[in-house]
Chain A
Amino acid sequence: MQLGTTGGESAVLRALTESVIGGEAEQTMSLARQALELGLEPMRAIDEGLIPGIMEVGRRFESHEFFLPELIMAAEAMKKGMAVLEEAIVARGGKREALATVVLGTVKGDIHDIGKSIVGAMLTAHGFVVVDLGVDVPAERFLTEVEKQGAQVLGMSALLPTTMPYMQHVIEELTRRGLRDRVKVVVGGAPVTPAYAERIGADGYGDDAISGVRVVRSLLGLA
């Protein structure tokens, strides 16, 4: 007979969910440790504790109950809790399968960091490995990292109408090097539109962090 969920286990799972929703990073870490002490499988703590929390945060963001500060703080809490639980998985000789690896950055000439970082935090929170290259990233760097990381997704951000065309340049470079078919390209940023994304040959466009996650999942057939 499978061990039933004891009161203590379900209480700590619920508390994990709540602490992610509340964006309480420290508390999420200590609850994750508590879950392990109670003998909970770390995978179960992630799937039934952390993930329901971040899903709820996404729902509240889309229904305008939550806004960016809550979203980011929840993503931070999720990341911190995940770190504790993944460490436990590794310590037991296991490995948590990442959904996919995403290389992310703001293109050359553009130093806008925040929007891209929020997308990164949400992707991490949803189980992706995110390699954030930062801002002012040249095409060469994107290409090298995509290849080195074996990334399935490349995410580019541009906040200026003048730096938007650089995203097309990166895509052309990917094609020239024969890398284009290996990676899905997602673009975003205030001046970027779905039509523009299509015109420059990107695979997807995300309007905000939540839709960014949705687009990446759907491009990888995970939706």
Chain B
Amino acid sequence: MPRRGLCGGLLKFIREDDLEQIRFAVIEVLSEVGVLMEYRPALELLADHGAEVDWAHSIVRIPEGLLQKALLTAPSRFTLYGKTPEWDVKVDLERVYTIGGSCALSVLDLDGVHRPAVRKDLVDLTRLLEAMPNLDIMHQIVVPSDVPELGYELINFATCYSISKRNYYSQAQSAESVRDQVRMAAVFQGSEEAVRRRPTFTEVVCMVSPLKHEKQNSEVLMESARWGIPLYIEVDALCGATTPAPIAGTLVESGANVLAGVVLAQLVNPGVPCIYSIASGIMDMSNGAYSGAAPETTLIHAATAQVAHRFGLPYQGGTGIDAKLPDAQAGYERALQVLTNILAGTNFVHLSYGMMEQMLLASYEQVVIDEEIIGAAYRIARGFEVNDYTLSVDLLARIGPLGGHFLRERETREFYRKDRWLPTITDRNTWDTWQAAGGKDMRQAANERARAILAREEPWAVTPEQAEEIERIAQDGVARAQARRQQLQ
């Protein structure tokens, strides 16, 4: 059975007529202001299909008709494949999933030490994430300091893809890197043709605000589209700095920026899945920092769900939190962010595990705490059913008002198990009982749980021989990337 997430979308921040205003504004910016694309083949393809290109400035203006055509071929439902069918994720505009990651440079380890991430951390954090029941999509949570910067994504691919059964959320620094990744996936899937038919990984392409697609972005986007690899087309806006300070203006910029990528991908390969994505945040005006957990950031992310869905595209939002320790700040930031995004119908809640300090830091303990927060948030979002059975009038009549209770009734036992969320590291005991059990706070409980999970040696998703072959392709790719750079110098 594939994974089918619960349906979000109860919460709407944009009124219907305002949503139309936003849509018109996006179309106006796309067709009259345009987007800068550095990659010449992208401009040529768009020009061939009727876009207006200002060749002197590499700006492309996309008319509404071309956009509409792309939105017709871009699917609103599709499957992201896992290595086994139970990890397939059925995507549409309503269901909600989570993504781990992404790309922290430091870790807060289980001894409480803050230090640069190394490849061992990538292995262990991926193993830890793999044990989290509510995680749907795997992503590289750290960029290790002991792997080369050029081609690091190949090493990360080899590590995460080999460990995890989940669909892998990858990224690439070049078209060649995409091809290397197809080769690595083919080791597990049997052939490149099998990867093309049922890709077990996806690519994220991160556009620059305002309205800029760098050369590498378009190159990776076009190569992935050719292979039929689903794309997260992402904008990382800094509201008030790289996009307008009003949230509405930020939504407009992101819409135009993302949709320019969607049009390009659909021209390369009509029907390739495109996920409207943001990892935006407000700029904290006191220090210029990106804030992933500010309430305004959460508002941007929740509201963008409505905009993406208006254009008929699944949506990825959600971002890291700002706290440095798994403390009260971390708890409140993550809880508000995750719950709001789920309720808003964010189809992929990104960076939802362990990411702190404006996406610079990954915490082992916070991974486990975030699983707990997501579990509770999912339970709220699932709501409750009203029907003859749940209204329980017959049961109420049976027990009556004569001082009975419901705890011993069969109906209670049958219902509560399906209905209740069972916490794992949350403590609901009284002081004395809690003290008697060691008086641990949530961080200590998470620490113990993480250690217990890591002590188990679960088999990797691929065989040791496949892992070895995948690693060889990654190392070979890194060597070729280095050689190319030297040639250029």
Stretch at the interface among A6-14, A28-36, A176-184, A187-195: A187-195
A193 to B430, CA, bound (A): 9
Minimal beta-carbon separation of A137 from chain B (angstroms): 14
Known: A69-B408, A72-B408, A193-B432. A23 touches B413 (CB 8 A): yes
The answer to whether B413 and A69 touch across the interface, beta carbons within 8 angstroms, is yes
The answer to whether B403 and A113 touch across the interface, beta carbons within 8 angstroms, is yes
A117 to B405, CA, bound (A): 10
Q: Does A76 contact B (CB under 8 A)?
A: yes
Q: What residues on A are CB-neighbors of B416 within 8 Å? A: 67, 69
Q: Considering the complex, give the chain B residue whose CB is closest to the CB of A115.
A: B407
**Which of these, B407, B408, B410, B432, contacts A194 with CB under 8 Å?**
B432
Q: Considering the complex, give the chain A residue whose CB is closest to the CB of B408.
A: A72
Q: What residues on B are CB-neighbors of A118 within 8 Å? A: 407
Task: Give the A interface residue count (CB, 8 A).
Answer: 18
Q: Does A68 contact B (CB under 8 A)?
A: yes
The answer to whether B430 and A190 touch across the interface, beta carbons within 8 angstroms, is yes
**Which of these, A69, A193, A195, contacts B407 with CB under 8 Å?**
A69
A126 to B86, CA, bound (A): 44
Q: What residues on A are CB-neighbors of B430 within 8 Å? A: 190, 193
A207 to B431, CA, bound (A): 12
The answer to whether B433 and A207 touch across the interface, beta carbons within 8 angstroms, is yes
Q: Does A114 contact B (CB under 8 A)?
A: yes
The answer to whether A69 and B412 touch across the interface, beta carbons within 8 angstroms, is yes
The answer to whether B405 and A113 touch across the interface, beta carbons within 8 angstroms, is yes
Q: What residues on B are CB-neighbors of A117 within 8 Å? A: 405
Q: What residues on A are CB-neighbors of B431 within 8 Å? A: 193
Q: Does A203 contact B (CB under 8 A)?
A: no
B404-438 residues with Cβ-Cβ distance < 8 A to A are: 405, 407-410, 412-413, 416, 422, 430-433, 436
Q: Considering the complex, give the chain B residue whose CB is closest to the CB of A70.
A: B413
Known: A193-B432, A195-B432. A114 touches B407 (CB 8 A): yes
A193 to B436, CA, bound (A): 11
Minimal beta-carbon separation of B327 from chain A (angstroms): 26
A50 to B422, CA, bound (A): 29
A194 to B408, CA, bound (A): 28
Minimal beta-carbon separation of A29 from chain B (angstroms): 16
A152 to B410, CA, bound (A): 34
Q: Considering the complex, give the chain A residue whose CB is closest to the CB of B404.
A: A113
A76 to B405, CA, bound (A): 14
Minimal beta-carbon separation of A14 from chain B (angstroms): 22
A222 to B416, CA, bound (A): 35
The answer to whether B408 and A76 touch across the interface, beta carbons within 8 angstroms, is yes
Minimal beta-carbon separation of A103 from chain B (angstroms): 20
A190 to B436, CA, bound (A): 15
A70 to B413, CA, bound (A): 7
Q: Considering the complex, give the chain A residue whose CB is closest to the CB of B420.
A: A67
Q: What residues on A are CB-neighbors of B436 within 8 Å? A: 207
Q: Does A73 contact B (CB under 8 A)?
A: yes
A215 to B431, CA, bound (A): 20
Q: What residues on B are CB-neighbors of A67 within 8 Å? A: 416
Minimal beta-carbon separation of B406 from chain A (angstroms): 9
Minimal beta-carbon separation of A119 from chain B (angstroms): 13
A135 to B243, CA, bound (A): 66
Q: What residues on A are CB-neighbors of B408 within 8 Å? A: 69, 72-73, 76
Max chain A Cβ within 10 angstroms of own Cβ: one of B408, B422, B431, B433: B408
The answer to whether A72 and B407 touch across the interface, beta carbons within 8 angstroms, is yes
Q: Considering the complex, give the chain A residue whose CB is closest to the CB of B422.
A: A64
A64 to B410, CA, bound (A): 19
**Which of these, A73, A113, A193, contacts B413 with CB under 8 Å?**
A73
A76 to B410, CA, bound (A): 12
Q: Considering the complex, give the chain B residue whose CB is closest to the CB of A72.
A: B408
Q: Considering the complex, give the chain A residue whose CB is closest to the CB of B405.
A: A114
Q: What residues on B are CB-neighbors of A194 within 8 Å? A: 432
Q: What residues on B are CB-neighbors of A76 within 8 Å? A: 408
Q: Considering the complex, give the chain A residue whose CB is closest to the CB of B412.
A: A69
Minimal beta-carbon separation of B430 from chain A (angstroms): 7
Minimal beta-carbon separation of A58 from chain B (angstroms): 17
Minimal beta-carbon separation of A54 from chain B (angstroms): 15
Minimal beta-carbon separation of A176 from chain B (angstroms): 30
Q: Considering the complex, give the chain B residue whose CB is closest to the CB of A135.
A: B403
B425-474 residues with Cβ-Cβ distance < 8 A to A are: 430-433, 436
A78-128 residues with Cβ-Cβ distance < 8 A to B are: 113-114, 117-118
B285-301 residues with Cβ-Cβ distance < 8 A to A are: none
A193 to B416, CA, bound (A): 29
8 closest A-B pairs by beta carbon, nearest first, are: A69-B413, A72-B408, A193-B432, A69-B412, A114-B405, A72-B407, A207-B433, A68-B407
Q: B-side interface residues toward A, CB under 8 Å?
A: 403, 405, 407-410, 412-413, 416, 422, 430-433, 436
17 of the cross-chain contacts (CB-CB < 8 Å) are A23-B413, A64-B422, A69-B407, A69-B413, A70-B413, A72-B407, A73-B408, A73-B413, A113-B403, A113-B405, A114-B405, A117-B405, A118-B407, A190-B430, A193-B432, A207-B433, A207-B436
**Sample of 7 further A-B pairs with CB below 8 A, known A69-B407, A69-B412, A69-B413:** A72-B408, A114-B405, A117-B405, A118-B407, A193-B432, A195-B432, A207-B432
